[in-house]
């Protein structure tokens, strides 16, 4: 595997994470429990679209086959997507959406903090720009974790259920492939093992403050996205997202 | 019914946005939130998403005391014929903004 191939893989993963999460959050538009949360979630979605666009455009350049951000977003099949399984999980109720967001926000915050000193110029500027957005996302979702976890009996139960459901998808955020080893060795991306330590630390603190408990998955963690093996949900997301550009490739708006 | 709705959504807050450093915060609208911290975040999301501001104030709507319609005659009408109270009888030095 060449260094460019490794970088392409990482950029796809980062771009797809933003794209799939944004698509999920967009489903809340007009449906959240109050107008304020509705706008907050779609703001986060738009930030993620912005990050996805930057990462996928750069991925196309690095790949060198002339593929644009749109080619990559709309003309790949689910096996070619590299987003983490966590992000394609269903919105469920607000508790589930917030928990998914929180688990990812802490990861993304740590990743971007590491990328600020990347040896790759694009990733450096990508990190500096995106970190401001993700700092807010993390603050927003952490707030809700504590508010609902340490809220009423009902909200506490809903949050704990969400955590029980989603925890199994957090392990693969830190999985390393050949590409990761190459990029870590070159100082292009931070070491994912070290990242996991800070993630564990922060996530643990917030969960404790939220009076929730980290579920015991007995060592089980779902895996697969690094190889393009997704849960059943991604196909439906892509079907909706890709329908228009695939049906009418020349469509403009 | 109305009471229940109100408590689900939190209380009403009035939002004031400062568009540039140094100038006054201006009323932008209102929103619901359960406490000040949430109100600030909601205000950020609802009222500054198009770069409208650099600073935010949120105030519980019930902390505002408003004049009433019935007071309008005695409060405001007497100012009608006192044009000399407008600062238009002297020249404003150049460069003074936001007066």
Domain boundaries, chain B: 6-70
ipTM surpasses 0.85: no
pLDDT at B81: 84
Name which of A60-69, A235-244, B63-72 the model is least confident about. Answer: B63-72
Q: A33 vs chain B: nearest CA distance in angstroms? A: 8
Residue A252 lies in a domain: no
pLDDT at B52: 92
Residues with pLDDT less than 50, chain B: 1-6
**Could you tell me which residues are beta bridge partners of residue B18?**
B55
Residue A40 lies in a domain: yes
The domain in which residue A188 lies consists of 3-247
Work out the average pLDDT over A230-237: 98
Closest CA to A139 of A168, A173, A108: A108
**Mutate which: B41, B50, B58, vs A, most A CBs within 10 A:** B41
How is domain B6-70 classified at the CATH fold level? Ubiquitin-like (UB roll) (3.10.20)
**What single DSSP character describes residue B91?**
P
Model confidence at A238, in pLDDT bands (50, 70, 90)?
very high
Would you call A40 and B42 a contact, using CB atoms and an 8 Å cutoff?
Answer: yes
A39 shares contact with chain B (CB less than 8 Å)? yes
Task: Tell me the CATH number at A13.
Answer: 1.20.1260.10
pLDDT at B99: 62
pLDDT at B5: 47
Identify all chain B residues contacting A40, using CB atoms and an 8 Å cutoff. 41-42, 45
Which residue of chain B is at minimal alpha-carbon distance from A36? B42
A128-131: list long-range contacts, CB under 8 Å, 24+ apart.
Answer: A129/A54, A130/A47, A130/A51, A130/A54
Given a cut of 90, whether residue A210 has pLDDT beyond it is yes
CA B76 – CA B79 distance, rounded (Å): 6
Residue A211 lies in a domain: yes
Of B33, B34, B45, the CB nearest to A39: B45
Closest CA to A62 of A137, A7, A21: A7
Work out how many domains chain A is built from and give that number.
1
């Amino acid at each position: 595997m060449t260094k460019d191939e490794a970088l392409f893989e990482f950029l796809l993963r980062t771009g797809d994470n933003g794209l799939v999460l944004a698509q999920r959050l967009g489903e809340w538009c007009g449906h959240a429990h109050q107008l304020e949360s509705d706008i907050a979630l779609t703001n986060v979605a738009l930030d993620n679209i912005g990050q996805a666009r930057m990462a996928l455009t750069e991925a196309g350049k690095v790949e060198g086959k002339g593929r644009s951000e749109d080619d990559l977003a709309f003309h790949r099949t689910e096996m070619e997507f590299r987003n983490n399984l966590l992000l394609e999980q269903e919105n469920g109720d607000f508790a589930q959406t917030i928990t998914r967001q929180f688990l990812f926000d802490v990861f993304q915050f740590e990743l971007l903090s590491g990328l600020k000193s990347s040896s790759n110029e694009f990733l450096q500027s990508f990190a500096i720009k995106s970190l401001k957005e993700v700092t807010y996302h993390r603050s927003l979702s952490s707030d809700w974790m504590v508010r609902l976890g340490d809220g009423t009996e009902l909200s506490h139960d809903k949050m704990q259920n969400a955590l029980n459901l989603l925890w199994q998808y957090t392990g693969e955020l830190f999985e390393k492939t050949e590409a990761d080893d190459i990029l870590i060795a070159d100082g292009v991306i931070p070491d994912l093992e070290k990242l996991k330590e800070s993630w564990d630390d922060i996530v643990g603190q917030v969960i404790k403050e939220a009076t929730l408990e980290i579920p015991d998955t007995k060592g089980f963690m779902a895996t697969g996205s690094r190889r393009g093996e997704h849960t059943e949900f991604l196909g439906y997301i892509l079907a909706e997202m890709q329908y228009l550009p695939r049906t009418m490739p020349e469509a403009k708006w | 019914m109305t009471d229940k709705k109100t408590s689900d959504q939190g209380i009403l807050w009035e939002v004031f946005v400062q568009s540039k450093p140094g100038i006054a915060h201006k009323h932008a609208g209102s929103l619901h939130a359960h406490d000040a911290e949430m109100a600030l975040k909601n205000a950020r999301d609802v009222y500054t998403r198009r770069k409208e501001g650099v600073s935010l104030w949120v105030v519980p709507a019930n902390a505002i005391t408003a004049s009433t319609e019935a007071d309008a005659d005695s409060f405001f009408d007497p100012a009608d014929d006192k044009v000399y109270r407008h600062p238009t009888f002297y020249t404003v030095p150049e460069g003074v903004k936001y007066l």
